[in-house]
């Protein structure tokens, strides 16, 4: 049932090109220049007239929500707030019937996320679900929604659920951007065409597996790791750190790269591996200066870079390449090497990758 892979997690990492394709199939019609999502079409007015979108989720799904914040604000120009469901539900939040709440959950059974939905509904907000499990409690409780088509995710560490959540949320943002007239026809088509190339670019990113195994062997005995990224790749840094923590039991922290100088830089010495997402688009030059700061303090730099990058290669101890794409789509690629890295480190440390200690696949209690 693991399809020849040693663990479900590895199988699910490798399923991502297919899972992403299944998620946009029938929704992304690049040749016609269209995005079709019935849950959006039927509720277009609610989205377009929303004061803001509030996203609630937990764990990895919360990280997908953070990526969505960048996408929705950047492309569709709708204000977004991202909340931990557990905090949101207990802090008497200000919610009105002009708010749209998006709940993101792989399992559709997370207790805190479900409670946040009920609260928002009581206050009159329109609630939209992004779930993987068909017919799950959250899918039933929401007013409308869009499923991710990742297929069953068995490994406790979420992988393909994360990239398919980002895929759905990107499609939503694109559809809303179009409806709001934020995009020229040419720019819109460029996005759709590029999104269609993502599965093959994920495939390409998976080809670094052998190199990543070598890097994993170098850092497997670390006790602490830092993950840094900016912009769209800040949430990817958080997700990379979570993935390492939960399956290898190595302490890891994710930070926006610019926050380093406000504290974490004090931790950097020759024993500290720093995983930096430094892809070409966006804030590349700024990330390069962050890398220089780490290097001058003798930190070990493992950088995720765009194919053909030379500047970071000269500075870093290791580089892992991903194909070039639009900035807003980079999280779908930069996540892949970080998943593989935590997987190999956990395996080398003899950890139970698919069922890490103290964790459950669905967190049905608060």
Asked if 246 interacts with ligand M6R (CB under 6 A), we say yes
Asked if 60 interacts with ligand M6R (CB under 6 A), we say yes
Q: How many CB atoms lie under 10 A from the CB of residue 280?
A: 17
Round to whole Å and give the CA distance between 17 and 5: 16
Q: Which of 86, 106, 148, 306 binds ligand M6R (CB under 6 A)?
A: 106
Asked if 16 interacts with ligand M6R (CB under 6 A), we say no
Asked if 101 interacts with ligand M6R (CB under 6 A), we say no
Round to whole Å and give the CA distance between 304 and 294: 15
Token pair of 89 as six digits: 């539900």
Q: Which of 16, 23, 110, 170 binds ligand M6R (CB under 6 A)?
A: 110
Q: How many CB atoms lie under 10 A from the CB of residue 187?
A: 12
Asked if 156 interacts with ligand M6R (CB under 6 A), we say yes
| Residue 108 CB, nearest approach to ligand M6R (Å) | 7
Question: Using N-to-C axis directions, what is the helix angle for 234-248 and 59-71, rounded to 10°?
Answer: 170
C-beta of 63 vs 300, nearer to ligand M6R? 63
Q: How many CB atoms lie under 10 A from the CB of residue 20?
A: 25
Torsion of CA 86, 39, 157, 89, to 10 degrees: 0
- Burial of 31: CB neighbours in 10 Å, binned 0-12, 13-18, 19+: exposed
Token pair of 174 as six digits: 């694109």
Q: How many CB atoms lie under 10 A from the CB of residue 310?
A: 8
C-beta of 246 vs 321, nearer to ligand M6R? 246
| Residue 194 CB, nearest approach to ligand M6R (Å) | 27
Give the binding-site size for ligand M6R (rule: CB under 6 A). Answer: 17
Torsion of CA 300, 70, 337, 363, to 10 degrees: 110
| Residue 107 CB, nearest approach to ligand M6R (Å) | 3
For residue 354, the Cα-to-chain-centroid distance in whole angstroms is: 19
Which x/- pattern over 285-324 shows residues binding ligand M6R (rule: CB under 6 A)? ----------------------------------------
Catalytic choice (220, 280, 286, 361): 361
Asked if 113 interacts with ligand M6R (CB under 6 A), we say yes
For 146, the 3-state DSSP assignment is: strand
Asked if 9 interacts with ligand M6R (CB under 6 A), we say no
| Residue 57 CB, nearest approach to ligand M6R (Å) | 6
Round to whole Å and give the CA distance between 338 and 290: 19
C-beta of 54 vs 301, nearer to ligand M6R? 54
**Could you confirm whether 361 is annotated as catalytic?**
yes
Which residue, judged by CB position, is nearest to ligand M6R in the bound state? 59
Phi, psi of 268 (to 5 degrees): -80, 125
Q: Which of 16, 23, 61, 170 binds ligand M6R (CB under 6 A)?
A: 61
| Residue 360 CB, nearest approach to ligand M6R (Å) | 8
Residues in contact with ligand M6R by CB under 6 A are 58-61, 105-107, 110, 113, 156-158, 242, 246, 359, 362-363
Residues designated as active site: 361
């Amino acid at each position: 049932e693991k399809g020849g892979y040693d663990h479900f997690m590895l199988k699910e990492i490798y399923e991502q090109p297919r899972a992403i394709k299944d998620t946009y199939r029938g929704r992304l019609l690049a040749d016609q220049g269209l995005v079709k999502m019935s849950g959006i079409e039927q509720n277009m007015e609610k989205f377009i007239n929303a004061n803001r979108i509030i996203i609630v989720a937990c764990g990895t799904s919360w990280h997908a929500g953070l990526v969505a914040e960048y996408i929705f604000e950047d492309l569709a120009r709708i204000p977004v707030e991202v909340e931990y469901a557990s905090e949101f539900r207990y802090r008497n939040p200000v919610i009105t019937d002009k708010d749209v709440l998006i709940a993101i959950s792989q399992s559709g059974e997370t207790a805190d996320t479900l409670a946040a939905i009920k609260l928002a509904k009581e206050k009159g907000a329109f609630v939209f679900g992004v779930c993987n499990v068909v017919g799950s409690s959250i899918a039933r409780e929401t007013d409308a929604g869009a499923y991710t088509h990742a297929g069953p995710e068995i490994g406790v560490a979420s992988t393909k659920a994360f990239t398919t959540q980002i895929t759905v949320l990107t499609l939503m943002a694109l559809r809303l951007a179009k409806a709001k007239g934020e995009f020229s026809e040419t720019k819109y088509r460029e996005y759709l065409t590029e999104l269609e190339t993502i599965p093959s670019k994920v495939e390409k990113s998976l080809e670094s597996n052998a190199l990543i195994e070598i890097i994993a062997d170098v850092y497997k005995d670390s006790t602490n790791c830092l993950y840094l990224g900016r912009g769209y790749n800040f949430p990817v840094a958080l997700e990379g750190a979570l993935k390492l923590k939960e399956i290898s039991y190595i302490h890891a922290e994710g930070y926006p790269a610019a926050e380093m100088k406000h504290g974490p830089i004090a931790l950097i010495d020759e024993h500290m591996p720093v995983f930096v997402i430094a892809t070409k688009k966006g804030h590349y030059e700024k990330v390069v200066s962050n890398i220089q700061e780490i290097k001058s303090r003798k930190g070990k730099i493992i950088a995720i870079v765009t194919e053909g990058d030379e500047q970071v290669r000269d500075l870093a101890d290791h580089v892992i390449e991903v194909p070039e794409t639009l900035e807003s789509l980079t999280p779908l690629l930069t996540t892949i090497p970080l998943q593989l890295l935590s997987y190999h480190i956990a395996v080398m440390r003899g950890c139970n990758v698919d069922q890490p200690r103290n964790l459950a696949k669905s967190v049905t209690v608060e």
